[in-house]
Amino acid sequence: MIVLNNVSKSYSTGAPALKEVNIHIEKGEFVFIVGNSGSGKSTLIKLLLKELEPTEGSICVNGKNLGSLKRNKVPYLRRDMGVVFQDFRLLKDRNVYENIAFAQRVIETPTRIIKRRVPAMLSLVGLSEKYRSYPKELSGGEQQRVALARALVNNPSILLADEPTGNLDPRNSWEIMKLLEEINHRGTTVLVVTHNREIVDAMSKRVITLNKGVVISDEKKGGYDYED
């Protein structure tokens, strides 16, 4: 599903962001990526999305070698990976329904399918009654739910969540994590980048810890060890 073989990434300054990283994530896994600031977590996400190229090593996602993937094929790669960010990134001038539908309109999904898929996603994230609301009318937790629905509407096989609870209070954070777990149970491979120790420890999933660009541990159960 996701394979990184001896992946290193250095920026123009020469500073290494990742060093000889080897990660294999199987279909249907739920994996936390943790580490302090500057550990390489964001670089890893950008490499998986092919926003960056590795300096060394190879990356395969869904059987596709990203190193040999032509530029015109990159949108198809990303179409199969839903992405959720800390800052939601909703379209402020569109209501909830249109924010979710936008992800389908971009890939020219027929209107009849959009009319079926968007309500289904709203139901999944518990926002069926908010479909006419605009982002400014929603709480932070509700906005993140919309972002999650938008990431899932194209039925991706992989969901990347980059600090999805970073701007949320504890209650909303747990609700989002429960949703991610439900999505995983439905068959989607889930990769979560987070600083939230409490959530990682409580959920007892696989945890990959990065420190200064190096994988220092890869544990099947919750709990990790790094300095803030």
Among residues 135, 155, 175, the one where a domain terminates is: 155
**How much is the pLDDT for 228?**
43
* Radius of gyration of the chain, Cα coordinates, nearest whole angstrom: 18
CATH number of the domain bearing residue 181:
3.40.50.300
Question: Would the pLDDT of 14 be above 80?
Answer: no
Among residues 138, 155, 172, the one where a domain terminates is: 155
**What's the domain range around 176?**
1-80+157-228
Indicate whether 4 and 61 sit together in one domain.
yes
Region label for 187, one of left (φ > 0), alpha (ψ between -120 and 50) or beta (otherwise): left
Indicate whether 58 and 28 sit together in one domain.
yes
Indicate whether 117 and 216 sit together in one domain.
no
pLDDT band, residue 11 (cuts 50/70/90): confident
* 69-110 tens-digit pLDDT: 998 999 889 889 999 988 889 999 999 999 999 999 999 999
Indicate whether 5 and 74 sit together in one domain.
yes
* Other C-beta atoms lying within 10 Å of the C-beta of residue 219: 15
**Helix or strand holding residue 82 (H, E):** strand 81-85
pTM surpassing 0.95? Answer: no
**How much is the pLDDT for 222?**
46
Indicate whether 167 and 71 sit together in one domain.
yes
Question: Would the pLDDT of 227 be above 70?
Answer: no
Indicate whether 104 and 209 sit together in one domain.
no
Indicate whether 76 and 142 sit together in one domain.
no
